[in-house]
Structure 1
Amino acid sequence: MRDTARSTTGSSRRRFLTTAAALGAAGALTAADRSVATPMSAPTGAQRRGVRYRGVCYTVGPGETPATAFSAARMRADLRAIRHDLHANSIKVTGDGVHRLTATAQEAAERGLYVRAEPTLGDRPQPEILDHLAEVGRHAEQLRRQGAKIELSVGCEFYLFVPGIIPGDNAVERIENLISGNVDLQQMQRRLDRFTARAAAVGRSVFHGPLSYAAAQDDQVDWELFDIVGIDYYSHHPRRQDYVRELRRYQRIGKPLAIAEFGTCAYKGAPDSAGMGWNVIDYTKQPPELTKPLVRSERTQAQYVTELFDVFDAMNLHAAMAFEFVTPEAPHWPGDPRHDLDMATYALVKTIRDTPGDPASDWHWEPKLAYHALAQRYARSSRVNTDR
């Protein structure tokens, strides 16, 4: 595990994003807003077919080293690639830092992307998290009034990242308490419900477009608080119909369904981990290394993400956001499988340092097979839905 002092915000988000699935554990809208926020019936004839908003998660944060710190120039270059090479028509802008989030959301909106703004300030006092949400929501409302297509997600998997719902000073300790059973699940649910309602109220108070939340698959959420159901989805089933059956229960809620995250890692067997594929890196060693021998397989990742997207497309979902675009802190190390941390990321592109093993080294990214595979799917869907 990483040092717990650094196990917050974006980096902890990447490490613990799917634990819930593995454990099993109201403002007025404008007429234009209601076209997004109301339930969608099955399309017929000339109506829309496929996923409406096809995109990728883009995490902003302070970075763990100067080399991985947020860069506006790099962000703009990434968004160009997302829009024109990946053929995405949407993006989930997530992470922390009001300036980083709002600058990225504005740049994405100016490029014609539909924006899901999802602030995820973690391991901070609850009032601070809500203030951070309110500030991002105000900026999102300004973009909406300027004509941007944007929705606000009040956050993701609160029980994991918000103190006071589960015992623990940080995400690492909360995970350990969950795994060990040191959690009163009924009390956890009551606290989760209270904070979710508070977050929804804050979101409504500052933002008047569609409101959403990103829940783990087995979370119990009062979806009456939101316009769009958001699910972080990391299931792996042998049969296509198993995905459909699982997703139908969310559609029965009667609101648009957004897959807020989906993906897997780039090694053989990763999809079988049910979303825990990241848990194979020993961060106590320098440089960090994989805890067991793995066989790199970009094809495995590509097959999984396209299989899921085809299911989402056939079900005409509101949105599907692949997790994630890039993970700078976990680089690909060509020729050294033990230190090829990229294998254990969900990123569609691989980070390559100019000097392997040097965390201060500059870096660039190169597309993985999953990037090219999704680009083909997104481009094809764009041709079918020329109005998107």
Structure 2
Amino acid sequence: MERTKGISRAGFLAGTAAAGAAAVLAPAGRAHATERERGLRRRGVVYTVGEGETPATGWTAERMRADLRAIRQDLHADTVDVTGDGVERLAATATEAAERGLHVWLQPTLGDVPARDILEHLAETGRVAQRLRRQGASVDLSVGCEFWLFVPGIVPGGTVLERVRNLMNGTYDPVVMQRRLDAFTARAASTGRSVFDGRLSYAAAQDDQVDWSLFDIVGIDYYSSFPRPADHVRELRRHTRRGKPLAITEFGACAYAGAPDAGGMGWDVVDHDKDPEEIKGHLVRSERTQAEHLTTLLGVFEAMGLYAAMAFEFVTPDAPHRADDPRYDLDMASYAVTRTVRNRPGHPEAGWHWEPKQAFHALARHYGPRAAPR
């Protein structure tokens, strides 16, 4: 998930390979990989496209091409989850990724607009996926992400943030929510099928109730933290028992001590009412914590022989790092495996660049050519 109208995916969380024989999915009826098939089939990262909170942090073709080159050559990923809104941005990014030999997981996530607009946006993006597929690209289509947050009318609230707060406060009817969620999910699946004849999926929160008969791949945004890998395996088994390939569509943690325990709420440590925005409390920056959590989860996913895992996320331009003052180190509240560094702190118009975190290097080692063959 990425940018909705006026809120980035990082801010929204401020709200709750080359094609070939190795890329072929196991038959849908086989829930578990055999010993020969152990290991992730697709190792990836989420790459968000969007307008940005300022002109300086918005998507550009030049930056996107450089980022995908780094994802392929330096991170050693074979898959990129291209997500966000804006069909032209999604199309350009997916096309570039395919041309670089990356498997494309294409996921439109337009939000806070009428449902019909979201479905139209999905259909247009699905046509892009179909065109790439016909041209020989390796591509899966996800019809969206956690609809109860992005789609108005499922949970009370006019914006993503309002819906998140209503969920947290319990000010909603779970029966009505589930009925509306089921109805929209079915419409989205039908829309995806009407324009794309490849593998279809959806990115659900790990506790969502979804009719997975509508999809070919089970997609889960996974943010649990347990003391033992076996606990993760136990929790994920309920998704593999459905008899379909399982893709971890998001996983990760923020870069401060204790962040994995905060899970999908790790972002909620920024005081947005202050100017400039400020980290709450006295957090201790810890890139090591983030890196170790990522590699622990990858070990679990590998052992289970899952279809795909995509770390959230490559870069978060609107959460800059400040080495000189931890109070303003917004990167601590980011799930990105790179840190955004402004060329002149306090002057966003001066531009920015990213630098790899420990999590980036950990992923690169895990994804790299020395990793176990898949």
- Check if 1:236 corresponds to 2:232: no
- Distance in 2 (CA, whole Å) between partners of 1:37 and 1:133 is 26
Out of 113, 131, 143, the residue aligned to residue 124 of structure 1 is 113
- Check if 1:58 corresponds to 2:54: no
Q: What is the identity, as a one-letter code, of the residue corresponding to 2:168? A: I
Counterpart position of 1:27: none
Q: What is the identity, as a one-letter code, of the residue corresponding to 1:13? A: R
CA contact (8 A) 1:214 1:230 kept: yes
Counterpart position of 1:272: 261
1:132-174 deviation line (CA, Å, top 9, x unaligned): 0000000100000111100000000000110010111101111
Q: 1:33 to 1:84 in 2, by over 3 A?
A: closer
1:337-360 deviation line (CA, Å, top 9, x unaligned): 000000110000000001112222
Q: CA deviation at 1:293?
A: 1.3
Tell me how large the CA RMSD over aligned residues is. 2.0
CA contact (8 A) 2:15 2:165 kept: no
- Check if 1:245 corresponds to 2:234: yes
TM-score, with structure 1 as normaliser: 0.91
Counterpart position of 2:82: 93
The residue matched to 1:198 in structure 2 has which SS?
Answer: helix
Q: CA deviation at 1:179?
A: 1.8
Q: 1:273 to 1:335 in 2, by over 3 A?
A: same
Q: 1:9 to 1:308 in 2, by over 3 A?
A: farther
Q: What is the identity, as a one-letter code, of the residue corresponding to 2:331? A: D
Counterpart position of 2:140: 151
The residue matched to 2:350 in structure 1 has which SS?
Answer: coil
Out of 53, 63, 72, the residue aligned to residue 83 of structure 1 is 72
TM-score, with structure 2 as normaliser: 0.94
Out of 39, 56, 63, the residue aligned to residue 67 of structure 1 is 56
Counterpart position of 2:19: none
Q: What is the identity, as a one-letter code, of the residue corresponding to 1:217? A: Q
1:179-238 deviation line (CA, Å, top 9, x unaligned): 222101000000000000000000000000000000001100000000000000000001
Structure 2 alignment gaps of length 5 or more: 17-21
Count residues with an aligned counterpart: 368
Sequence identity percentage: 63
- Check if 1:15 corresponds to 2:11: yes
CA contact (8 A) 2:14 2:268 kept: no
- Distance in 1 (CA, whole Å) between partners of 2:233 and 2:61 is 39
CA contact (8 A) 1:18 1:216 kept: no
- Distance in 2 (CA, whole Å) between partners of 1:7 and 1:108 is 20
Out of 257, 277, 280, the residue aligned to residue 288 of structure 1 is 277
Counterpart position of 1:24: none
Q: What is the identity, as a one-letter code, of the residue corresponding to 2:297? A: L
Of 231-240 and 168-177, the range deviating more from structure 2: 168-177
Q: What is the identity, as a one-letter code, of the residue corresponding to 1:179? A: M
- Distance in 1 (CA, whole Å) between partners of 2:13 and 2:278 is 20
Q: What is the identity, as a one-letter code, of the residue corresponding to 2:91? A: T
The residue matched to 1:328 in structure 2 has which SS?
Answer: coil
CA contact (8 A) 2:122 2:191 kept: yes
Q: 1:126 to 1:184 in 2, by over 3 A?
A: same
- Distance in 2 (CA, whole Å) between partners of 1:7 and 1:44 is 39
- Distance in 2 (CA, whole Å) between partners of 1:84 and 1:163 is 39
Q: CA deviation at 1:66?
A: 1.3
Q: CA deviation at 1:17?
A: 3.8
Q: 1:18 to 1:381 in 2, by over 3 A?
A: farther
Q: 1:54 to 1:33 in 2, by over 3 A?
A: closer
Q: How does 1:168-187 map to 2 (within 5 A)?
A: 168-187=157-176
Q: What is the identity, as a one-letter code, of the residue corresponding to 1:187? A: V
The residue matched to 1:357 in structure 2 has which SS?
Answer: coil
